[in-house]
Amino acid sequence: MTISHFASDDLLLRYAAGRLSAAPSLVMACHLSMSEESRGRLDVLESLGGALLEEQPLATIAPDLFDRTLARLQDAAPTVALPRYDHQRLGMGVDLPEPLRRCAIDRWRWMGPGMHFARIEMPEDPAVNLVLLRIGAGRTMPEHGHSGQELTLVLKGSFHDESGRYGVGDIAEEDDDTDHQPVVDDSGECICLASINGPMRPHGWIARMIQPLIGL
């Protein structure tokens, strides 16, 4: 696995600061599990943030704050074991990143010739579509824009669009300023994990007709 498209510093900082909602956070957690470089960059950014905090004047805190915090943690509900899925029934032929194995994934649904998607349950983030996209070899996605942030992480195969070529572990960041038309490479199908904030904005009339049916 040779990763060439890493998470941007802006994205890493928002992830580290807890400013991403649950769905894009999951995409980031999966990317970080696949990319040593992005993990290293995140460490650097967190160290810089820590150094900046150390330069701030010290605040006065209650002397028993630490003991009270520990007591509250001990009173908290016992940790619930998270479920773990193997997702064999989806027949993807790849090992999924560990964070994705903690999620329930619905069945494949048709979204166009040679194209399917499967919804990933993320009830705590209802404004974002979190999906697996499965696009056949050589297929061209409809050209589209976005009404918010779109993060796409390649899990299998590869695709290219106006901004480059993306293989396994690569992450693509799109926002509401960008249009693109991903094309899957001829060598095999491509499976991606995507968090899509708000509806996509397809340009072609066929895709515009289909969009309300698939709800992406």
Which amino acid belongs to residue 199?
P
Query: Strand, helix or coil at 48?
Result: helix
List the one residue out of 174, 182, 131, 129 whose CA is nearest residue 157.
182
CB 195 within 8 A of CB 130: yes
Single residue of 150, 161, 170, 189 touching Zn ion by CB under 5 A: 150
Rule CB under 5 A: is residue 161 a binding residue for Zn ion? no
Residue 211: CB minimum distance to Zn ion, A? 13
Distance CA 99, CA 102 (A): 6
CA angle 155/159/161 to nearest 5° reads 135
Site mask for Zn ion (CB under 5 A), range 105-144, x = bound: ----------------------------------------
Stretch that binds Zn ion, among 9-17, 54-62, 105-113, 149-157 (CB under 5 A): 149-157
Q: Using CB under 5 A, which residues numbered 166 to 185 contact Zn ion?
A: 174
Contacts with Zn ion in 30-59 (CB under 5 A)? none
Residues forming the site for Zn ion (CB under 5 A): 150, 174
